[in-house]
Amino acid sequence: MSRRSTALSLFLAISSCYLAADEKAPKKPAHQPTAQGKASFIRDYDLNKDGTVSQAEFKQLRQQRYGAMDELQDGQVSVDEYVNEYAGRLDKKLDIERTGQIKQTLVRIEALDKNNSNTIGHDEYNASGDKAFAYIDTNKDGVISKADPLPERERKPDAKQPVRARPALVMPTTHSVVGMLDMYDQNGDGTVDKTEYQQQRDAAFARTDLDKNDELSSDEYLNEFVDRLDRQIAKTRAAQLKQAAVRFKTLDQDNNQQISAAEFNTSGDRMFKRWDTDLNQQVTMAEALPVTLPVTRAEKTKGTAE
């Protein structure tokens, strides 16, 4: 057995014990299905890109995916086959989103360069940081924490804008409290005051300013971001593939270390019915979201398995 197969088998054995214990745990409130979750479902299964996923469309893509998983064409899918197929789809999404993040960063560089010098000076860098801090520090106490109410723009999103599908890659951002804490709360106390924030900003500027001329060139700014971007991609990929191995276990209902077409289809039927709340064999953004009842963690995972 390969090292990879051994590691996956060990992980699945541990997960099996964890899930079995969870079945006996008290019911807990599940996360309410979101419009973003539905948008992700439609994005992933809308073959003709008309904004609707029909049951026939859904089953067609599910069959295609199972065929792609079954590398040996033996009518069974092993954990390695399952994870490999998912990794291929995940890598495509991550590559597309990486390109998009880089394009956004190039736009951000132009926006920061207020004096059109083709560099970002310390004053321009600090002005941008001050603006970001003030935006998130909504209670104006000089400290960013989860006690800060959401900025008004976040509380009242534009209803005219379509709901976006959930991205595969999430970079910490200064546009949210969570992002600010993730990036700048170095002592882990759940808060970021202006002094701590500025210290981290100054350190980041110094690291990025490779030629030490107190200005950031476009290349310096972009290269620093791409380095963080690629680290986040690696972290995201590892976590998602680990979760895929957990999903395999929930799909393998007879615990024979293989997923049959019947097991895969059972999961798919459950997934489609969950979103098709008006029972018309179509899933659209217009229909109501599912109503969630309290479930165990294991039941929740079964309901979302691919």
Residue 100 near residue 80, CB atoms below 8 Å: no
Question: Residues 140-153: pLDDT tens digits?
Answer: 999 999 999 888 77
Question: Residues 75-105: pLDDT tens digits?
Answer: 999 999 999 999 999 999 999 999 999 999 9
Give percent of the chain above pLDDT 90.
Answer: 75
pLDDT computed for residue 12 by the predictor = 42
C-alpha dihedral, 204 to 209 to 215 to 216, nearest 10°:
-80
- Confidence check: pLDDT of 10 > 50: no
Q: Which residues make beta-bridge pairs with 216? A: 120
CB pairs under 8 A, 24+ apart, for 10-17?
11/242, 11/245, 12/79, 12/245, 12/248, 12/249, 12/257, 15/245, 15/246, 15/249, 16/249, 16/255
Say how many C-beta atoms besides its own lie within 10 A of residue 265's C-beta.
14
The whole-number average pLDDT for the span 149-165 is 74
Provide the whole-model pTM: 0.80
Distance CA 177, CA 183 (A): 10
The whole-number average pLDDT for the span 290-295 is 66
Say how many C-beta atoms besides its own lie within 10 A of residue 3's C-beta.
7
Least confident of 23-32, 154-163, 264-273: 23-32
Distance CA 207, CA 209 (A): 6
The whole-number average pLDDT for the span 6-28 is 43
